[in-house]
Amino acid sequence: MVGAGSVGSACAYFIPRLGFLGHVDVVDLDKIEIENLDRSPLFEAQHDGQAKATVVADYLMARGVSATPHPLTWNAFVQANPTLLRKHDAWLALANEHGVRRSISQTIRP
């Protein structure tokens, strides 16, 4: 999962409810700000200043879904974890800052 903001956290909210079996790597460098609270079903005031990737991964793990947070940009994640790219069946491009969608399409073959 690339992006843990409003779209990514909403996706994460439903993953355990859909009976997902597998592992989720959550990639997002951003931190939660008070302005994010009205756009996410997961973020609360107590999360202010925390990494979005960590809060989303913690939510998933608390509901029995294996997850690892990666508070990095997509490009930094790719450089630090090149072998992880091929270990997943799908990557969800749920953000587009820094040209993430284009980068994913150029990095990972369909």
Q: What is the pLDDT of residue 73?
A: 93
Whether 100 maps to a domain, the answer reads: yes
Whether 32 maps to a domain, the answer reads: yes
Q: What is the pLDDT of residues 55-84, one digit of tens each?
A: 999 999 999 999 999 999 999 999 999 888
Instruction: Examine the pLDDT at 10 and tell me if it is beyond 90.
Output: yes
Instruction: Examine the pLDDT at 49 and tell me if it is beyond 90.
Output: yes
Number of domains in the chain: 1
Instruction: Examine the pLDDT at 4 and tell me if it is beyond 90.
Output: yes
Q: What's the predicted TM-score (pTM) here?
A: 0.91
Domain of 87: which CATH number?
3.40.50.720
Query: CA gyration radius for the chain?
Result: 13
Whether 1 maps to a domain, the answer reads: no
Q: 10: domain range?
A: 6-107
Whether 69 maps to a domain, the answer reads: yes
Q: What is the pLDDT of residue 57?
A: 98
- When pLDDT is cut at 50, 70 and 90, the band that residue 110 belongs to is low
What does 7-68 look like in DSSP terms, one character per residue? HHHHHHHHTGGGT--SEEEEE---B--GGGGGG-SS--GGGTTSBHHHHHHHHHHHTT-EEE
Whether 86 maps to a domain, the answer reads: yes
Instruction: Examine the pLDDT at 3 and tell me if it is beyond 90.
Output: yes
- When pLDDT is cut at 50, 70 and 90, the band that residue 86 belongs to is confident
Whether 64 maps to a domain, the answer reads: yes
Instruction: Examine the pLDDT at 91 and tell me if it is beyond 80.
Output: yes
Whether 81 maps to a domain, the answer reads: yes
